[in-house]
């Protein structure tokens, strides 16, 4: 583009007032509220302690960007929504990011994307890769932060396991297609206690959702019990983690667990009586009905023993059960149906002969609305 030194711009007048603009405000950041993150870090000392997990082999006299500054730049950048390294080509000149990163000279540029890339990539040549980190030390730090957030040991710790997708749009290493998410993605594992992250692993998606989870759970449980020997620990996850290896380990190590169990024909036959009871109550009351029942259950081959299963038999909103069966919304939550199916902008016209509801032409789910109408009216 042709370079231009124009400083002011005259726009169309607003009645009797001239409208002018210019790039004259100086260095401005769009993320002023992020200064609160700096104060939060001062309280818990995350960056200072995280820096201790790294080894810097660069010549001291040749260092322009310190490890702690780069970590702060990257972490605060992600917190503000700048996940891509390319974003730092602009962020490196942002005075607020310089302040957050601990740069002594706020007029000096921060690290660019290439420098940050060398910080993050491990296993490269010694010539270019001179900063390493200890994954084990970082793992321990996450649990230490959780432990130190409690002035007194809690009676119970609930560990939530979850696997979700990170969509991929390029040709990254270990890129695989995942049928459930219908995309190329990674399948990271997360372990939370409440809203605090205790463990995370980036994994390819060509494996079971529970892959590697037992290694992470056993490490975290050991660290928790070293500090809090009497705490009760509960492991909670969906059916993707209901595996013999994990359950047997929990039983051998006094860890309670609560896992989802995928539906199958045997389970459906077992709770058929409760389902019928829920159906009758629903029909008589017109409201949602649910019953809980428990029984001992063992798979034909994959489980080593019988285990207690608690089943919920319920009849919910008839609209979903009768009209949305076989559609993408067959198992949608009520609030999803409310937002997408009921919240349609509508003009109501009332005459002597009819009431006409004139709905928004921009409504995006017309085909599903039509399907539901035809099913319910037949």
Residue 207, domain CATH: 3.30.420
On whether residue 327 sits in a domain, the answer given is no
Confidence band, pLDDT 50/70/90 cuts, at residue 282: confident
Q: Which residues sit opposite 359 in a β-bridge?
A: 346
**For 106-115, what is the mean pLDDT?**
90
**For 44-71, what is the mean pLDDT?**
93
pLDDT at 350: 78
pLDDT tens across 197-212, in order? 999 999 999 999 999 9
| pLDDT higher than threshold 90 for residue 190 | yes
Judgement on whether residues 233 and 160 belong to the same structural domain of the protein: yes
| pLDDT higher than threshold 80 for residue 41 | yes
**For 346-357, what is the mean pLDDT?**
82
Judgement on whether residues 163 and 215 belong to the same structural domain of the protein: yes
On whether residue 367 sits in a domain, the answer given is yes
On whether residue 218 sits in a domain, the answer given is yes
pTM for the whole structure: 0.76
On whether residue 138 sits in a domain, the answer given is no
What residue numbers bound the domain in which 272 lies?
Answer: 265-316
Final residue in a domain of this structure, among 226, 259, 292: 259
pLDDT at 124: 53
Judgement on whether residues 255 and 269 belong to the same structural domain of the protein: no
Judgement on whether residues 213 and 160 belong to the same structural domain of the protein: yes
| pLDDT higher than threshold 80 for residue 257 | yes
* Nearest CA-CA partner of 295 in 272, 315, 314: 272
On whether residue 345 sits in a domain, the answer given is yes
Confidence band, pLDDT 50/70/90 cuts, at residue 299: very high
On whether residue 289 sits in a domain, the answer given is yes
pLDDT at 255: 97
Residue 143 structure tokens: 């649990």
Confidence band, pLDDT 50/70/90 cuts, at residue 320: low
| pLDDT higher than threshold 70 for residue 18 | yes
pLDDT tens across 360-375, in order? 888 888 888 888 888 7
Judgement on whether residues 169 and 219 belong to the same structural domain of the protein: yes
Mean pLDDT of the chain: 88
Confidence band, pLDDT 50/70/90 cuts, at residue 357: confident
| pLDDT higher than threshold 90 for residue 65 | yes
pLDDT at 4: 60
Judgement on whether residues 56 and 123 belong to the same structural domain of the protein: yes
Judgement on whether residues 346 and 292 belong to the same structural domain of the protein: no
Confidence band, pLDDT 50/70/90 cuts, at residue 297: very high
Q: Which of 10-19, 71-80, 128-137, 285-294 has the lowest mean pLDDT?
A: 285-294
Judgement on whether residues 176 and 271 belong to the same structural domain of the protein: no
Judgement on whether residues 243 and 271 belong to the same structural domain of the protein: no
On whether residue 22 sits in a domain, the answer given is no
pLDDT tens across 151-187, in order? 999 999 999 999 999 999 888 889 999 988 889 999 9
Confidence band, pLDDT 50/70/90 cuts, at residue 319: low
Residues 293 and 313: beta-carbon distance below 8 Å: yes
Residue 326 burial (10 A CB sphere; 0-12, 13-18, 19+):
exposed
| pLDDT higher than threshold 80 for residue 27 | no
pLDDT tens across 219-256, in order? 999 999 999 999 999 999 999 999 999 999 999 999 99
Residue 264 structure tokens: 């199958």
Judgement on whether residues 178 and 242 belong to the same structural domain of the protein: yes
Percent of the chain with pLDDT over 70: 94
**For 283-300, what is the mean pLDDT?**
85
What total number of domains does the chain contain? 4
Judgement on whether residues 253 and 304 belong to the same structural domain of the protein: no
On whether residue 191 sits in a domain, the answer given is yes
pLDDT at 126: 59
Judgement on whether residues 288 and 238 belong to the same structural domain of the protein: no
Higher pLDDT: 355 or 50? It is 50
């Amino acid at each position: 583009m042709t370079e231009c030194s124009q400083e002011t711009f005259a726009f169309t007048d607003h009645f009797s007032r001239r409208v002018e603009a210019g790039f004259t405000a100086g260095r401005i950041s769009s993320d002023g509220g992020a200064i609160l993150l700096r104060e939060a870090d001062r309280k818990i000392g995350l960056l200072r302690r995280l820096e201790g997990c790294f080894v810097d082999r660069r010549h001291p006299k040749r260092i322009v960007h310190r490890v702690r500054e780069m970590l702060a730049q990257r972490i605060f950048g992600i917190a503000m929504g700048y996940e891509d390294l390319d974003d730092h080509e602009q962020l490196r000149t942002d005075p607020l990011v310089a302040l957050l990163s601990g740069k002594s000279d706020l007029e000096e540029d921060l690290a660019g994307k290439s420098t940050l890339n060398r910080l993050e990539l491990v296993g490269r040549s010694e010539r270019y890769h001179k900063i390493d980190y200890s994954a084990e030390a970082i793992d321990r730090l996450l649990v230490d932060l959780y432990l130190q957030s409690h002035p007194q040991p809690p009676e119970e710790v609930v560990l939530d396991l979850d696997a979700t997708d990170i969509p991929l749009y390029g040709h990254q290493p270990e890129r695989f297609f995942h049928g459930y998410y219908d995309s190329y993605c990674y399948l990271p594992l997360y372990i939370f206690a409440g809203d605090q992250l205790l463990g995370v692993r980036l994994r390819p998606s060509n494996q079971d959702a529970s892959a590697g989870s037992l290694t992470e759970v056993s490490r975290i449980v050991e660290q928790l019990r070293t500090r809090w020997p009497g705490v009760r620990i509960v492991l909670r996850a969906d059916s993707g983690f209901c595996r013999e290896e994990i359950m047997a380990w929990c039983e051998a190590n006094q860890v309670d667990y609560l896992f989802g169990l995928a539906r199958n024909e045997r389970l459906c036959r077992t709770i058929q009586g409760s389902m019928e009871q829920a159906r009758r109550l629903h029909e008589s009351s017109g409201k949602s009905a649910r019953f809980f029942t428990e029984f001992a259950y063992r798979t034909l081959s994959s489980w080593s023993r019988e285990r207690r299963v608690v089943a919920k038999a319920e009849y919910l909103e008839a609209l979903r059960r009768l009209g949305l069966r076989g559609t993408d919304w067959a198992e949608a939550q009520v609030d999803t149906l409310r937002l997408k199916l009921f919240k349609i902008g509508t003009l109501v016209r009332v005459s002597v002969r009819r009431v006409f509801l004139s709905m928004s032409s921009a409504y995006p789910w017309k085909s599903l609305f039509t399907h539901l109408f035809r099913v319910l009216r037949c």
